[in-house]
């Protein structure tokens, strides 16, 4: 292992954290490998266990490691880092850009009467029809998100002629000018996994789920899409870039 430099003003816990992270990234520690215990790291680097614990805790919080009671601390499968919060790119494009293989399972694809909340977001009457699309989406064959999408039927009925297993929804919507998504509003909250998540995403009770509600608008600022997505918290992280105006 490399040494920590106690002569510089960089906190020792941060140096240790960066050292362990580098070893994860360069393959010294593989996924599911155990890292040395707090006691061992404390002895190796001649630092307090409190310092070691702070470094490990931050790596756990950031999704690089996970703890198993009475067994140790292990390297976690890296989270999928996505920037779709601030971009209009499709799920498939995002996953491919990360060097992974996207796939989609269609659970429902039908025309229904608009539920009250959906009608409100799409500015429809409750009796109006919407296209309901229920999808489970995968990265390298692992389920990472469930998505329920609603589209106004009158405008988007052409979507029913497309295979959304093979095609991405946004490029399909872009085939007509008045349904092309030009702007999206997203609302984000952290929730606990419920029975729906356990069934479809292979997560345990109490697991973290990142819930996204999205409303997509066309160039005339008319709502075209309303979606609710539930992402596995252990498999995803989301990037936001803020620039000064």
CA gap 243, 245 in Å, rounded: 6
Q: Which two tokens stand for residue 84?
A: 């779709």
Query: Which tens digits make up the pLDDT trace of 48-85?
Result: 999 999 999 988 877 788 888 889 999 987 666 555 54
φ, ψ (nearest 5 deg) of residue 130:
-130, 155
Residue 8, Cβ neighbours under 10 Å: how many? Answer: 9
DSSP-assigned beta bridge partners for residue 147: 135, 229
Domain residue ranges of the chain, discontinuous segments joined by +: 12-75, 80-238
Q: Which two tokens stand for residue 132?
A: 């309901």
Q: Which two tokens stand for residue 189?
A: 């909250």
Looking at the chain, how many residues does it have? Answer: 245
Q: Which CATH superfamily is domain 80-238 in?
A: Chorismate lyase-like (3.40.1410.10)
- CATH node for 12-75: 1.10.10.10
Query: Which tens digits make up the pLDDT trace of 141-170?
Result: 889 999 999 999 999 999 999 999 999 899
φ, ψ (nearest 5 deg) of residue 127:
-80, -15
pTM of the model: 0.67
Q: Would you say residue 138 has pLDDT above 70? A: yes
**Residue 218 confidence (pLDDT):** 94
């Amino acid at each position: 292992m490399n040494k920590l430099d106690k002569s510089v003003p960089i906190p020792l816990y941060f140096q240790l954290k960066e050292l362990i992270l580098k070893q994860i990234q360069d393959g010294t520690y593989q996924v599911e490998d155990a890292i040395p215990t707090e006691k061992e790291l404390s002895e190796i680097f001649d630092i307090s266990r409190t310092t070691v614990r702070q470094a490990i805790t931050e790596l756990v919080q950031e999704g690089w490691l996970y703890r198993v009671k009475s067994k140790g601390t292990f390297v976690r499968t890296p989270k999928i880092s996505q920037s779709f919060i601030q971009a209009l790119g499709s799920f498939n494009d995002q996953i491919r850009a990360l060097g992974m293989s996207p796939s989609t399972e269609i659970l429902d694809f039908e025309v229904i009467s608009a539920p009250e909340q959906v009608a409100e977001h799409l500015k429809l009457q409750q009796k109006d029809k919407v296209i309901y699309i229920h999808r489970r989406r995968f990265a390298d064959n692992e389920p990472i998100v469930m998505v329920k999408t609603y589209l106004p039927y009158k405008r988007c009925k052409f979507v029913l002629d497309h295979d959304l297993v093979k095609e991405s929804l946004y490029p399909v919507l872009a085939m007509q000018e008045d349904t092309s998504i030009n702007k999206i509003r997203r609302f984000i909250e952290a929730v606990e996994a419920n029975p729906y998540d356990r069934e479809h995403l292979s997560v345990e009770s109490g697991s973290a789920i990142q819930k996204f509600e999205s409303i997509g608008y066309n160039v005339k600022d008319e709502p075209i899409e309303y979606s609710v997505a539930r992402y596995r918290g252990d498999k995803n992280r989301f990037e936001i870039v803020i620039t000064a105006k």
